[in-house]
């Protein structure tokens, strides 16, 4: 560990003066025909306006480019910590607040990061700190994902306990226990996770997760790439974003098999190298716009989106009366105006119905013919959108982790409050079909996960603006 740090410091001293941190950036930029066509200035900071005003009643028709997946991009950024060579990402959702927060954190650790439109490059060669402080971590739970890579590469890491969406207690015990099984010594002190590896670094082990966790699977997947020997992750999560992370790690030189199944095997290697990776499309963003068109009626072409990543939702959308099909790289969604049918959904780990589409589905069901039941099995307290939807006229009753949604004829515009990322977008969807004007306050959460939602929806006919 100390040898590595000393080498690091020596490299850092000469690095800024002589070598570009991203020798391949400009070449990558000019080699991509789509580069200039992507959404406008994706390097722009989110605006200071904190309300969205929607006037309901417009059909949605047109084309929406789907961004790279936030939940993959954040972990891929962490993976770049595993090497001292530059890693380049295409299709990066650079406009998102969460990407900015992760950039701030990694820059604090010493990384050099360049972002332009949908390209991102990270050089973690000059990392000089292994401490992720409270101020940078509190906004975003995913910061915990720097723990595994820092520990694996430097032998130590100190990470503040995370914040993030207010959807339940969301502990990190699975991450910590599994890292301990790789030999990490972990103390919790003053709100920080203080972790060290034993002499000789992390050791491969067989880890059986008692519960499926996306984040814990990813943290361990990354840590195990540099551990000595073989690690087996049993009862691992199978999300497409994990497969994307694993594929990038393989390009970086990691030895991984079983991605997308419940058993992932990792043969540790001494070091990883830089690579270029194109981030998979955001299935939750695509699912959100499918539901939007299902609610307003009309035809949307969602560019660069994959229906196979939404298979559990597809059957339910079809039962509800919404037509969705894949056409080359795009998803086409079509809906004649009219009421959708009530369906029941239950959230589950992938490939089940995603909890991240639950709030949007509820907004849609609030206008269904009949009723639908929604059961949330992943997060407690993920019904915070219910009172806000009810203020708009929805008829929803919550009992434990289930909600009965009785369809109403219409929703009415109201002033509502965004509480977490997916709850916020559910209110935007409700606003698109409500009578009159809906004002959504505190859109901070929305900007964490949806790139240019106002621009994308208004280009398809929605009457929506920031204020």
Q: Which two tokens stand for residue 177?
A: 């226990």
DSSP secondary structure string, 357-408? GHHHHHHHHTT-BSEEEEE--S-TT--THHHHHHHTT-EEEEETTEEEEE--
- The single residue among 21, 56, 93, 215 that binds ligand UD1, judged by CB under 6 A, is 215
Q: Which two tokens stand for residue 243?
A: 């497969």
- The single residue among 94, 213, 424, 438 that binds ligand UD1, judged by CB under 6 A, is 213
Residue 170 touching ligand UD1 (CB under 6 A) = yes
Residue 366 touching ligand UD1 (CB under 6 A) = no
Known catalytic residue at 165: yes
Window 73 to 92, contacts with ligand UD1 (CB under 6 A): 74
Per the listing, tokens 């929506």 go with: 464
Q: Determine the Cα–Cα distance for residues 35 and 43; give it in Å rounded to an integer.
A: 13
Per the listing, tokens 């207690």 go with: 169
**Interface segment toward ligand UD1; rule CB under 6 A; list 80-88, 173-181, 303-311, 386-394:** 173-181
The nearer residue to ligand UD1, 216 or 454, going by C-beta atoms, is 216
Query: How many other C-beta atoms lie within 10 A of the C-beta of residue 192?
Result: 18
**Interface segment toward ligand UD1; rule CB under 6 A; list 146-154, 165-173, 257-265, 438-446:** 165-173
Size of the site for ligand UD1 (CB under 6 A): 20
Which helix (H) or strand (E) segment is 309 a member of? none
Residue 187 touching ligand UD1 (CB under 6 A) = no
Residues recorded for the chain = 467
Per the listing, tokens 């307003």 go with: 296
Residue 67 touching ligand UD1 (CB under 6 A) = no
**In the complex, what is the shortest distance from the CB of residue 378 to ligand UD1, in angstroms, rounded to a whole number?**
5
Per DSSP bridges, beta strands 463-466 and 437-441 are unpaired
- The single residue among 171, 198, 200, 370 that binds ligand UD1, judged by CB under 6 A, is 171
Residue 231 touching ligand UD1 (CB under 6 A) = no
Residue 184 touching ligand UD1 (CB under 6 A) = no
Q: 3-class SS at 159?
A: strand
The nearer residue to ligand UD1, 64 or 74, going by C-beta atoms, is 74
Residue nearest to ligand UD1 (CB): 215
The nearer residue to ligand UD1, 428 or 434, going by C-beta atoms, is 428
Residue 211 touching ligand UD1 (CB under 6 A) = yes
**In the complex, what is the shortest distance from the CB of residue 120 to ligand UD1, in angstroms, rounded to a whole number?**
17
**In the complex, what is the shortest distance from the CB of residue 144 to ligand UD1, in angstroms, rounded to a whole number?**
8
The per-type count for the chain, helices as H runs and strands as E runs, is 16, 24
DSSP secondary structure string, 411-431? -B--EEE--SHHHHHHHHHHH
Give the relative orientation of helices 70-79 and 240-251 as an angle to the nearest 10 degrees. 30
**Interface segment toward ligand UD1; rule CB under 6 A; list 89-97, 171-179, 297-305, 429-437:** 171-179
Residue 379 touching ligand UD1 (CB under 6 A) = yes
Starting at the earlier edge strand, list the strands of the sheet with 395-399.
Answer: 345-346, 371-375, 402-406, 395-399
Residue 172 touching ligand UD1 (CB under 6 A) = yes
**What is the per-residue burial (b if ≥16 Cβ within 10 Å, else e) of 23-37?**
eebeebbeebeeeee
Q: Determine the Cα–Cα distance for residues 416 and 428; give it in Å rounded to an integer.
A: 10
Window 326 to 355, contacts with ligand UD1 (CB under 6 A): 355
Q: Which two tokens stand for residue 132?
A: 């992720």
Of 111, 165, 248, 368, which one is the catalytic site residue? 165
Residue 214 touching ligand UD1 (CB under 6 A) = yes
**Interface segment toward ligand UD1; rule CB under 6 A; list 114-122, 214-222, 334-342, 412-420:** 214-222
- The single residue among 90, 356, 420, 451 that binds ligand UD1, judged by CB under 6 A, is 356
**Interface segment toward ligand UD1; rule CB under 6 A; list 124-132, 172-180, 225-233, 431-439:** 172-180
Q: 3-class SS at 215?
A: helix
- The single residue among 142, 358, 424, 438 that binds ligand UD1, judged by CB under 6 A, is 142
The nearer residue to ligand UD1, 58 or 355, going by C-beta atoms, is 355
Query: How many other C-beta atoms lie within 10 A of the C-beta of residue 198?
Result: 12
Give the per-residue SS3 of 101-148: HHHHHHHHHCCEEEEECCEEEEECCCCCCCEECHHHHCCCHHHHHHHH
Task: State the residues that interact with ligand UD1 by CB under 6 A.
Answer: 71, 74, 141-142, 168, 170-175, 211, 213-216, 355-356, 378-379
Question: What positions carry a catalytic annotation?
Answer: 165
């Amino acid at each position: 560990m100390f040898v590595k740090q000393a080498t690091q410091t020596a490299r850092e001293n000469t690095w800024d003066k002589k070598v570009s941190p991203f020798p391949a950036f400009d070449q990558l930029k000019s080699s991509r025909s789509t580069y200039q066509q992507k959404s406008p200035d994706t390097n722009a900071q989110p605006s200071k306006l904190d309300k969205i005003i929607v006037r309901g009643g417009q059909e949605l028709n047109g084309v929406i480019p789907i961004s790279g997946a936030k939940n993959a991009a954040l972990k891929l950024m962490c993976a770049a910590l595993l090497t001292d060579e530059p890693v380049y990402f295409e299709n990066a959702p650079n406009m998102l607040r969460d990407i900015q927060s992760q950039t701030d954190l990694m820059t604090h650790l010493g990384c050099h990061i360049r972002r332009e439109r949908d390209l991102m490059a990270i050089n973690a060669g000059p990392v000089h700190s292994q401490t992720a402080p409270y101020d940078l971590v509190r906004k975003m739970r995913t910061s915990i994902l720097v723990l595994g890579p820092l520990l694996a590469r430097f032998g130590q890491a100190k990470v503040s306990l995370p914040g993030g969406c207010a959807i339940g207690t969301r502990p990190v015990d699975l991450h910590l226990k599994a890292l301990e099984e790789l030999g990490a010594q972990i103390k919790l002190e003053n709100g920080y996770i203080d972790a060290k590896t034993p002499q000789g670094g992390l050791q491969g082990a067989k880890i059986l997760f008692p519960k499926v966790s996306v984040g814990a699977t990813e943290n361990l997947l990354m840590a195990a790439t540099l551990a000595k020997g073989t690690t087996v992750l049993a009862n691992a999560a199978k999300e497409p974003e994990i497969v994307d992370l694993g594929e990038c790690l393989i390009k970086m030189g990691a030895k991984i098999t079983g991605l997308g199944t419940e058993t992932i095997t990792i043969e540790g290697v001494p070091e990883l190298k830089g690579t270029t990776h194109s981030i998979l499309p955001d299935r939750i963003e695509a699912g959100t716009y499918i539901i939007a068109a299902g609610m307003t009626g009309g035809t949307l072409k969602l560019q660069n989106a994959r229906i196979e990543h939404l298979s559990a939702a597809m059957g339910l959308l079809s039962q509800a009366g919404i037509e969705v099909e894949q056409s080359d790289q795009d998803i086409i969604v079509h809906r004649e105006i009219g009421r959708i049918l009530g369906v029941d959904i239950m959230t589950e780990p992938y490939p089940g119905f995603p909890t991240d589409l639950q709030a949007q589905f509820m907004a849609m069901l609030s206008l269904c013919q009949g009723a639908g039941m929604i059961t949330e099995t992943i997060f407690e307290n993920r019904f915070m959108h219910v009172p806000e939807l009810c203020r708009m006229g929805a008829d929803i009753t919550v009992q434990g982790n289930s909600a009965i949604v009785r369809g109403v004829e219409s929703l009415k515009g109201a002033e509502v409050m965004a509480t977490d990322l997916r709850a916020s977008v559910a209110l935007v969807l409700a606003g698109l079909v409500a009578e009159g004007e809906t004002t959504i306050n505190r859109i901070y959460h929305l900007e964490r996960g949806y790139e240019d939602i106002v621009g994308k929806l208004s280009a398809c006919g929605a009457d929506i603006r920031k204020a």
